[in-house]
Amino acid sequence: MTRHFHDWLQAYVDYTSYTEAPTHMHFWSGVSAVAGALRRRVWISQFEFEWYPNFYIILVAPPGVVAKSTTADISMKLLRQVPGIKFGPDITSWPSLIEAFEESTEAFDIAQEWHVMSPLTLVSSELGNLVDPNDRKLINVLIDLWDGKTGRIKKRTKNAGQNEIENPWINLIACTTPTWIAENVQEHMLGGGFISRCIFVFADKKRKHVPYLDEAIPDNVKRTREKLVQDLEKISLLAGEYKISEEARRWGRSWYEQHSSAAHAHLEKERFGGYLARKQTHIHKLAIVLAAANRDELVITAEDLSTAHSMVTDLEAEMAKAFSQVGQSETALYARKLVAFVAARRVVPYAEALRHVQPHFPRLRDFEEILDGCVKAGQICREHCTRTGGLVLRVGPSAAH
C-alpha cells in the first residue's frame, strides 16, 4: 500500500505545529489515533499472552495552559474519518460500555481464517467522566481490557441479564488536571492496577503563544489532513502477528536486564513500582504503533524498540508532577490553590483572595492559618498597598504599590 508519508507520526506532529500545545502531547495523541486504527487486528505473541497496541493515554496539565481537549480532538477527528472505527460513550458505566462493545463486534480475515474482535476507542475531555477511581467493578474491567485477554467476557447487568463480549479491545485518551488527580486518586492506587497501565503525558507550559489560531494555520492544512486520514485508513487494514527481529530481541534482552537491576532513582518505587513493572509492555505496545506508522511489514526492529523506549522514558521526568499533590493533606492542597491563585494574578487584594477560597475555609481563622503558613514559607508576601491603603497578597519579594 503506497502511503503519502514515510512516518505518519512525524507527519502528524508536523501537521499540528501551528498549535500551542507541546510536541510530546501531540505525539502521544497521534499514538492514540494509530492505535485506534490498528485495533485488535495486530499483535505480538508471547505464547501465554499477546501484546496489543492499545493505550490509556492521559493528558495532564493545569487548567487553560496547553489546550488539552483541543490537542486530543485534533487526532481523534482524523480517526473518526477512518471507515469502521467504533467509538465508545463519552460517560462510562459498565452497562453503557457493554452496549457499545456489543455494537462494535466484527470479524476480519487473515489467510482465510476469521478473527472476531470487539474494539472501542474512548475519548473524553474530562477523565472523571470516563473513570471513577472508586468504582472497583469498572476499574477491574478496564484492567482486564488493557491486558488484552483473549476470549469472551461475561458480565451480568440488571436489565439485559448476562452479556457476552468476544475479544474486547479498548483504547482510551482523556484529559485531566493535577488537582483532579489529587482529589480522586489515593496514595495506594499509584502502585499498580489502573494507574500503572496509563501513560501520563504532563505539561505545564505552552510550546509557543498563538493569539489567533486562524492566523497560524498553514495554507495546505486541509490537503495535509486528507493525506493523514488516507494513510490512517491504510494503517487500519494491517492485520496479523508482528514478529520481533533477532536484532530487536537482543536489544530487548539487554534492556530488560538493565531495567530489572536499575535503581530508578527518578521514580519512587513505592509510588511507581507498578508502572516500572509494566514498562516493558508499554514499550512493546508503542513499538507496534511506531512500526505501523512507518511501514506495512509486520516486523518490530531494534530501532522501533529503542525509539519506543526513549519516548516512554522521556515522560518519566515530568510524571511525578502529575501526582505531586496526591497524598498531601487537605491543608497542603488548599495552600497550593491559594499560592496558584495569587501567582496567576500577581497582586491580589486580601478581600478578593478570601472570597476566592472562602468555600474551602468557612472559618476566617482557617484561612489565616493557611495564609500564615504560606507567608512563613516565603511563598506569599502580605503587605499594605501604598495607593489604596488596603492589604494585598503577592508572590515574590515585598514591594510597595
For residue 344, what is the domain's CATH number? 1.10.10
For residue range 237-271, list pLDDT tens digits in order: 999 999 999 999 999 999 999 999 988 877 777 77
Under 8 Å between Cβ of 79 and 37: yes
Which of residues 302, 322, 342 is at a domain's end?
322
Which of residues 297, 322, 347 is at a domain's end?
322
C-alpha–C-alpha distance, residues 330 and 175, integer Å: 23
C-alpha–C-alpha distance, residues 137 and 98, integer Å: 13
For residue range 121-142, list pLDDT tens digits in order: 999 999 988 888 888 888 888 8
* Inside any domain, residue 134: yes
CATH number at residue 302: 3.40.50
Q: How far is C-alpha 401 from the chain's CA centre? A: 43
Which of residues 294, 322, 350 is at a domain's end?
322
- Average pLDDT across each block of 10 residues of the chain; the chain has 401 residues. List them in order: 95 96 97 98 95 96 90 98 93 78 93 94 92 83 85 65 83 92 72 85 93 90 97 98 98 97 80 89 98 98 98 90 66 73 83 74 70 83 77 68 43
* Inside any domain, residue 400: no
**Residue 57, φ and ψ in degrees, nearest 5:** -100, 120
Looking at the structure, tell me whether residues 335 and 304 fall in a common domain.
no
* Inside any domain, residue 1: no
User: What pLDDT, on a 0 to 100 scale, did the predictor assign at position 384?
Assistant: 82
The parent domain of residue 79 ranges over 8-322
C-alpha–C-alpha distance, residues 236 and 159, integer Å: 35
User: What pLDDT, on a 0 to 100 scale, did the predictor assign at position 115?
Assistant: 93
Residues pairing with 122 in the sheet: 172
Count of domains in the chain?
A: 2
**Residue 108, φ and ψ in degrees, nearest 5:** -135, 160
* Inside any domain, residue 127: yes
